Chain A
């Protein structure tokens, strides 16, 4: 790993590059993570003077016994599933579109990416306006019942409103990764395929997609993680409403800890969420890594 001979020398090299990032990582990630894990095993209630007693897995038991936790988790899975599928399909198509050599493709590239530059909270408020004002106005003027009543006041429609905004926000970013994937394919492969008389569809299916598996690995991982952890849009668009039916898991964990003031169970739920996302993400990356091909 190091060319340097002595331990001291190699430590110096490591320190030059890695010490500060490691320190920051330790302070903002590792220490909070482990202290959180520790607190989830105690009866800590958020106050500083309260005695902290070790109570084992009691918080985890009350967390998994809470039906609201499973309800929220179920909705989150629904949300994640559709956000992941729709974001990646649209991002892939956008990527394909803006690398096809069409006129003004750079403009579209910038356009698709812009939503990602808007912060989630602001995005939520913008879409709240669209769903509860613009749609309703449109609905009442045209008489289409689908738009007449604000989506945000109907449980299922409100969840779909969240999905739409999630896709709209993330598709542009994922598109960039797909573009990198498309551009990174060796020209000679495309040329060879064209010589052999492959149709554009065949080229996409047999060459482009297999060569782009690394891009899929990244985008699927990113969308998965982002969708599971969504909070800002959830807060500003629906705030969990109508009547707590769109309370996704991050919001549920936060509310449990800070609104209901159950720090222990809240922390336990947060850790369960971490485990869940970690397992799913690792499994997804492992499966896709196997599919990656090295053509050259």
Chain B
């Protein structure tokens, strides 16, 4: 009996071992493929060979829109079929880990900054492709590794404070222009004025991703206008050398947060409001300001097509010249092509798809009007028409953007920052505690 079991186990082990070695052999040659090989085959695509590629769509809310875009592409390129892989509730990191581990890596992947760092060794060098050259130069730093372009931005997303024009105008009786708020002083005055009316001046969503990643990006983005100086701050944070308590930027950021907390609609029980409720109150003209990003705009107009909302910066100082007073955080995830497990013809098809999407009229139309994306590419003939997207384009054109700094956070620390800010929001800890927790968590999570 025992012998029988051990014999069986040995057999199973051996079988699994050979299965593994088999798959390694299969993928090995693919590793040596580079763009050149891929591009060579792209020239011969006229032969009409069937190519199937997969596309990991990490924005669950627009999977149907992506599928529509794929269909449109296939109409003009009948030999290529693109299948969307939805995230199905997992995080990007989990999904990619499992897909790569099982040898089913998607040909095209959408990744955020942290996943880009983790998976960049698997991505194809696309430096010499047409579509990658169209990316605005200021947006390229993040898509590069060792001087090679490995990804392109998907869509521009702004993070700041969303305002409801109707509410503000009803409360103040004056026309509202977001550029009239030049500093925190102006903002405080307006909030005070609104608080005397029936309208709620501010609502704060208590989600950890908002507090710990989106809003902290304002903080680290405003430390300097210079890329290298910002990186130096991140490096200092990692080593525990950045002194938050004495940092002017940190204190300014917290001052604004205090201001928002003071006028928070849910000040009594600040952790109770659900994200879904916040969308409803904003859309139904009950609240004037809401720190959030434009990604929520489609939901707002879905609830109330007449909503007049826009995005303005998160004020970073009483001094008008303070960095952040006229800048919104500009965030974008990225498209990357797999280099390790996809065949050269799949990579060529993926490159061709992006050339179509970014440079052809049909593609641009799908990009802007079907996917509702805001291009970070030069020379787009089709421009977004929705008001918030237009605002973001104008922030980009004027260079009034802050970098999305949470992309450089060590994995997992954003949830810790979020937890810290939730405690602060709940009145459980002081500003000094926030400063020391930020400092400690940076070091703790950088070490791992």
Contact = CB atoms under 8 A, between A and B. Distances in A.
Interface string A26-55: 110011000000000000001111000000
Nearest to A245: B419
B92 to A, nearest CB: 11
Contact of B411 (A241, A244, A260): A260
A30 B9 contact: yes
A19 interface: yes
B91 interface: yes
A132 interface: yes
B320 interface: no
Contact of B426 (A23, A27, A153, A265): A153
Interface residues of B, number: 37
A295 to B, nearest CB: 34
Q: A interface, how many residues as a size bin?
A: 20 to 34
A128 to B, nearest CB: 9
Contact of B8 (A23, A150, A259): A23
Given A48-B100, A153-B426, A262 B448 contact: yes
Contact of B12 (A27, A62, A136, A242): A27
Interface string B68-94: 000000000000000000000001011
Contacts of A62: 448
B118 A47 contact: yes
Secondary structure at the B interface, as helix, strand, loop or mixed, is helix
Contact of A132 (B272, B415, B448): B272
B268 to A, nearest CB: 8
A114 interface: no
A153 B8 contact: no
Secondary structure at the A interface, as helix, strand, loop or mixed, is helix
A154 to B, nearest CB: 8
28 contacts: A14-B1, A22-B5, A23-B8, A26-B9, A30-B9, A31-B13, A47-B97, A47-B121, A48-B100, A49-B121, A49-B340, A62-B448, A136-B272, A153-B426, A241-B271, A241-B422, A243-B419, A243-B422, A243-B423, A244-B415, A255-B412, A258-B97, A259-B91, A259-B411, A259-B412, A260-B411, A260-B445, A262-B412
Closest 9 CB pairs of A and B: A260-B412, A153-B271, A243-B419, A261-B411, A243-B422, A150-B272, A149-B269, A244-B419, A259-B412
Interface of A: 1, 10-11, 14, 19, 22-23, 26-27, 30-31, 46-49, 62, 132, 136, 148-150, 153, 241-244, 255, 258-262, 265
